[in-house]
Amino acid sequence: MTIKRHSLSPDAIADELVVRIVRGDLAPDAKLRQDHVAEEFQVSHVPVREAFLRLVARGLAVSKPNVGVRVAPLDQAAQREVKLMRAALEPLALMHSVPNLTQDEIGRLEDLRLTCDAAENIYDWEAANRAFHLGTMAACGMPRLLEDVGNLQLHGARYMLVQYKDRWRPRPDADHRALMAAIRMRDVKGAVATVERHLGRAV
């Protein structure tokens, strides 16, 4: 990822660190050092400290007195919680989004679906897959719900990349194709059922 190294905001720094945490470039429990990050991004410690606070708020890092800030650990209980929360919230967001998606938005979703099918590595696929699913929910009109779902998807992606990066293979996704067919028909029940089935396999 190419980023400008000057005048970076805390959000921009946090976004870059999120990518590294989700991809596993920053390992679970790895210490996040303000001085190292500030030097890399050529900024003062202030935006780095604020970026760390954003990571902690999203559950991707933990801060402990006398220990500092570390990448959040991975554990099975948290993984199951993320899956169950996604299974509850994503169908809700989709149900309210499908009737409101514009034709332009549906066209972009189809492009993302094809990008997923054409991906040659798990990292490109994961990014397109997450964008596709978030896009299907984008017109729900509930920004707080979308924020929560987006954060849950980051956590889900983190676990998925750890578990499947060595055995992932390119393949067309039949659920994505079925979901797009339901969206084009404004078939809310069909779209929700497809996503519930899709998420149920993971749970």
| pLDDT of res. 2 | 45
| pLDDT of res. 165 | 86
Identical fold for domains 10-71 and 76-202, yes or no, is: no
> Exposed/middle/buried for 179, CB within 10 Å: 0-12, 13-18, 19+?
buried
Alpha carbon of residue 33 to chain centroid: 24
Judge whether 46 and 1 are in contact, CB under 8 Å. no
Q: How many residues does the chain have?
A: 203
Q: What CATH class is the domain 10-71?
A: mainly alpha
pLDDT in tens, 126-181: 999 999 999 999 999 999 999 999 999 999 999 999 988 889 999 899 999 999 99
- Per-residue pLDDT, averaged over 29-48, amounts to 95
The domain locations on the chain are 10-71, 76-202
Q: Which two tokens stand for residue 113?
A: 């679906």
pLDDT in tens, 77-114: 999 999 999 999 999 999 999 999 999 999 999 999 99
To the question of domain 76-202 being in CATH 3.40.190.10, the answer is: no
Taking each helix axis from N to C terminus, what angle separates 10-23 and 45-57, rounded to the nearest 10 degrees?
50
